[in-house]
Structure 1
Amino acid sequence: MPLVAVLVLAACTPEPRLVETPVTSPVPERVDTGELVVAVSGVAGGYNPHHISDQSVVTTALANLVLPSVFRTGPDGVPRLDRTVMSSADVTSYDPYTVTYQIRSDASWSDNAPVAAEDFVYLAEQVASSPGALDAAGYRLIEDINAADSGKTVEVVFAEPYPGWRSLFANLLPAHLLKDAPGGWDGALQDNFPAAAGPYAVKALDTDRGEVVLERNDRYWEDPPTLDRIVLRRTDQPGVVDALDAGHAQVALARLDAVGVNSVGKLTPPVATHTVARPTVSTIAIRPDRPQLTEREVRQAIVALLDREQLVTVGTGDGPAAELLANSHVLAPSQPGYRPTAPAEAGHAPQRAGQLLRGAGYTKTPAGWTRGGEPLDLVIGAPEEREPAKRIAEETQRQLVAAGITAEVVTLPADELYAQLHAGADADAEQNGGEPVDLAVIGQPVGADPATSLASNFGCVPGEDGQPPAPANPLGFCDAGLQPTIDAALTGALSVTDALAAVEPALWRAAVSVPLFQQAETLAIRGDVSGVTPGPPLAGPFAGAAEWRRTEG
């Protein structure tokens, strides 16, 4: 009976109703294929591409996208006329040496002012006369600039022949807005771009948030770029990996150490990576115009005390830049014709350093190296915005202190540090609260024309009122004996190869700088973008940003 009851009950019980609950999946976020985000390591203030103190990935990017240039570097590293801006540029006379530039009639700034001769005049005058300007040696050869055809024809007359003239007038600036602007040349492009004459214009520049927004320049006269917007966003190393993984950044051009490169390499799906060498060599400047460093033997001793291999490791974190060890003064490792010129005695040699210091009259005491009862006491400067430079300065201090030399590190805003270096000993007492810098970790610029780099980085300028030649570089270095060779290379009377054969050994003997490594970033590219490449040598990927594309993938 119980069994029957159960069966009856089962038969009378209605079948349970099957309720279908829809499974909800997250709706994918709509991809804005008109915007591309690039993760960068820093968005520090100061974006003038002609200031040594302003050199950075972001400065190079903005110059490529916003400012017009007469020539741009081609894929083979050779300057090529930018026909979006220029119709022609040619040497039209050899006596006097004259170059005539023809600007396109439709080339104009975003406020409708034409790109014209006044932009050439403004840039030439400012670079030639301003301490801390890049590649100033070429501009200092200009004797006169004449204009015709409402400023669209520009005739530049040089005091001497100048084979490197194609390196001039890159990244022209809007003279009509800057020549009377508050702050003048020193403040130009400090925190904004007042006008654009390239495919993009700066929509927003926020250093506090670490973000730069570029939007398509509606006043650009050539074919518009593919993307509506490019956003540069400051991101630390872990953030770069996460942003690429999540798709919050589609591209990264960032300073990564070995750990960061390895982490990016493990992302799935794979992310393409390239090393992009920058036009800058991390260098320790040893100033011969400082009282304790006027003697060459003392500077040579400091060089011998430095463990360059360790300094490179500290500065690069064994990232890609560690493969670009700089063993010459003028050419960087990524440049054609580069070869190591460092002599054997330029290496780490503490015993030789001791001999040099004793020869200069120093004595090693329990308190360190002293002469006449005074210690060898040095101040090492570094730009506060450049974290690798600060690490190098601290490691330099550690090595010198361990060897018995008193040393301290001070950090300054980059523009203040370079202002002190260029001003020389006369202005030191007014700089840095009475602590003049003896050594400095700087970025030594390199360029497409080696003769111009040589003259700008190591040359002299004529003294005023019959005074001897004076330094024209952040090293405070001027060798009247080398200057004729430097001048001959600049004017083409001597080949660069022959000039470097004479100058490089002299620079190593002078011990005024210790090149470490060429700076480099890692370029990482997700699969949902196309057209992004490492770019021409020393110019970088942003040179081709007008062709970048983004997909939904």
Structure 2
Amino acid sequence: MAVAVVAALMLAACSVTPPPPIVGTVPPVPSAPAAKPGEIVVGVDSIAGGYNPHVLADQSTITTALSTMLLPSVFRTAPDGSPQLDRTLMVSADVTNTAPYTVTYRLRGDAAWSDGAPIAAEDFLYLREQMRDEPGGVDSAGYRQITDIKAEESGKVVQVTFAASYPGWRSLFSSLLPAHLLKDAPGGWEQVLESSFPATAGPFSIKQVDAARGEIVLERNERYWEQPAVADRVILRRADQAGLTDALRTGHDQLVVARTDAGGVAMLQALGERVTVKSAPRPTVISLFLKPSGTDLADERVRTALVNLLDRDEVIKVGTGGGPSLRADALVLAPSQAGYAPTGAPLHDQAAAQSLLTQAGYSLTSGIWTREGRPLAVTLGAPVDKEPYLLVAKEVQRQLVAAGVQVKLITPAADQLMRVSGTDAGPDILIAPRPVGDNPAAVMASVYGCPTSTNDASTVLPGNVMGFCDRSLQPTIDAALNASMPLTEAIEKVEPRLWRQAVAVPLFQSADSVAARAELTTGDLTAPLNAPFASAVSWQRKQN
């Protein structure tokens, strides 16, 4: 009997299978070796593409990092938020004529892409054409002011003519792209920088993008014509919050730039004096957009009711997880921008929502709002591959369903979602970024302006992400764009109307936790729009 018991136990031990994996978690990244001399490792929460800084679908910390370190820009945002001519690329950029309004750009003769091709007028022309013609652009309104681009002196002098006075021209032509490689690339604009960079023109170049390992390796660009980067290489390495904190503690990482919740912030701060922890706002405001069309949402009363059904405080709490962020209560300016002030915010008013839905012909039957026997149903869209958009969307869905609205949540890839938003195929409600730029008038025109026509009357350029157009607001938006009306005055006229029409609800401006070890010398870690990567060329790690 004793032998039989032992045999049974041995058999049981041999047949035990490991527990099933936990569904929904990110696979752990294998432990990485400590950074080598001349190497700086930056811990991030994601390296997921695409990496096109000019489209809303690709807005992320990793996109900002790569575009800042790899791509050339005519102007860059200074620490005080003002545009500053980048003399690593430019000789000059000036308004040289007022009728027609013309800006002349003179590029350095030695500025070239990493494959040896010169940075030239064709790169300006390519970017303008894509931003004008393709939907989902970050600053499409500014590029649509351009009527002509001419090249001189082998493309190193570029003359750009505008339809009218355009004081915001300094916000254009940042993160230029290599037109000679991309203009005929398979997949077109949709696939630009989807997984890597075919050529770069900054202090660093791409050595490797390893999605499986969660790593992007950048090396000093030996073909860079300006002062070379101090570091031999910069590695962007993905990990979860615990992994980021541990890598910083052990010195495997020298810097962390990542989205964190309250627990992640606490872990970083617990590292003590060895690490400096700050927060840096991202150039996006997480927002809720309502498409003013379709069977239900074409009625302003229904849109307003849906907004009033939402507990916005709870949505923001879920979306931020208590981590660094800035609550947003304005439709044009972001909380991190000069001149920002709350302009209004929807109330969580269930009684008002019920009254509005009743006025619109709906009745609450068995806990469901219906009209003529049909339930009030909406489609809610959020990108599956981006956070915190999906978290926000699920909370919005939960609240609306609890209030008696049927909600179908769709989660395609970000680029697919942004391409159909504003069309009949797009969702009724969209969780998406509102860009934050150094030209707020262009942001207002891009996000809330009507579609524009070209010289060909049959061609209409893409509109904003929600397909919204109020022709009575357009003259004010245009006046702010050409500076014939001060931005503050335009905002005072436009925002109250936008709030009443319930086409957009700002939630919060995303922010990253930025934590640096004491041995890393950096520039300003919280500079606006591109922190902390703007100073990467001078990053240096002191050796112990």
TM-score normalised according to structure 1 size: 0.90
Aligned match for 1:116, one of 105, 120, 123: 120
Aligned match for 1:158, one of 154, 157, 162: 162
Partner of 2:452: 462
Task: Compare 168-177 and 467-476 and name the one that shifted more.
Answer: 467-476
Partner of 1:328: 330
How far 1:270 sits from its partner (Å)?
3.2
How far 1:478 sits from its partner (Å)?
0.8
- Measured against aligned partners, the alpha-carbon deviations of 1:81-122 in whole angstroms (never above 9, x if no partner) come to 000000000000000000000000111111111111111111
- Measured against aligned partners, the alpha-carbon deviations of 1:437-484 in whole angstroms (never above 9, x if no partner) come to 211111111210011000011101235886898871112211111011
Aligned match for 1:499, one of 486, 490, 497: 490
Partner of 1:407: 407
1:533 match: secondary structure: coil
Task: Compare 236-245 and 171-180 and name the one that shifted more.
Answer: 236-245
TM-score normalised according to structure 2 size: 0.92
Separation of aligned partners in 1, 2:452 and 2:179:
28
Partner of 1:203: 207
Percent of aligned pairs sharing the same letter:
52
- Structure 1 portions without partners, runs of 5+: 1-28, 429-435
- Measured against aligned partners, the alpha-carbon deviations of 1:204-239 in whole angstroms (never above 9, x if no partner) come to 112232211100000000010100100111111111
Partner of 2:528: 537
Separation of aligned partners in 2, 1:83 and 1:142:
24
Contact in 2 for aligned 1:471/1:478 (Cα 8 Å)? no
- Structure 2 portions without partners, runs of 5+: 1-32
Any residues of structure 2 matched to 1:77-476 within 5 Å, and which? 77-321=81-325, 324-342=326-344, 346-422=346-422, 424-425=423-424, 428=425, 436-462=426-452, 472-476=463-467
State the superposition RMSD in angstroms: 1.6
Contact in 1 for aligned 2:34/2:252 (Cα 8 Å)? no
Separation of aligned partners in 2, 1:256 and 1:31:
23
Of structures 1 and 2, the larger Rg is shown by: 1
Separation of aligned partners in 2, 1:462 and 1:139:
12
How far 1:77 sits from its partner (Å)?
0.6
Q: Describe the shift of the 1:240–1:94 C-alpha distance in structure 2 as closer, same or farther (beyond 3 A).
A: same
- Measured against aligned partners, the alpha-carbon deviations of 1:224-280 in whole angstroms (never above 9, x if no partner) come to 010010011111111111111121111000111111101111114531011100110
Separation of aligned partners in 2, 1:468 and 1:200:
40
Contact in 2 for aligned 1:281/1:332 (Cα 8 Å)? yes
Contact in 1 for aligned 2:132/2:461 (Cα 8 Å)? no
How far 1:313 sits from its partner (Å)?
0.4
How far 1:127 sits from its partner (Å)?
0.7
Q: Which amino acid aligns with 2:381?
A: G
How far 1:552 sits from its partner (Å)?
2.3
How far 1:43 sits from its partner (Å)?
1.0
Q: Which amino acid aligns with 1:227?
A: A
1:84 match: secondary structure: coil
Aligned match for 1:43, one of 44, 47, 56: 47
2:96 match: secondary structure: strand
Q: Which amino acid aligns with 2:308?
A: A
Contact in 2 for aligned 1:460/1:471 (Cα 8 Å)? no
Q: How many residues align?
A: 511
2:274 match: secondary structure: coil
Matched, 1:525 2:516: yes
Partner of 1:26: none
Task: Compare 212-221 and 471-480 and name the one that shifted more.
Answer: 471-480
Q: Describe the shift of the 1:471–1:223 C-alpha distance in structure 2 as closer, same or farther (beyond 3 A).
A: closer
Aligned match for 2:469, one of 478, 481, 484: 478
Separation of aligned partners in 1, 2:436 and 2:193:
22
Partner of 2:504: 513
Q: Describe the shift of the 1:159–1:521 C-alpha distance in structure 2 as closer, same or farther (beyond 3 A).
A: same
Q: Describe the shift of the 1:379–1:31 C-alpha distance in structure 2 as closer, same or farther (beyond 3 A).
A: closer
Q: Which amino acid aligns with 1:485?
A: T
Q: Which amino acid aligns with 1:540?
A: A
1:42 match: secondary structure: coil
How far 1:490 sits from its partner (Å)?
0.5
Separation of aligned partners in 2, 1:468 and 1:308:
39
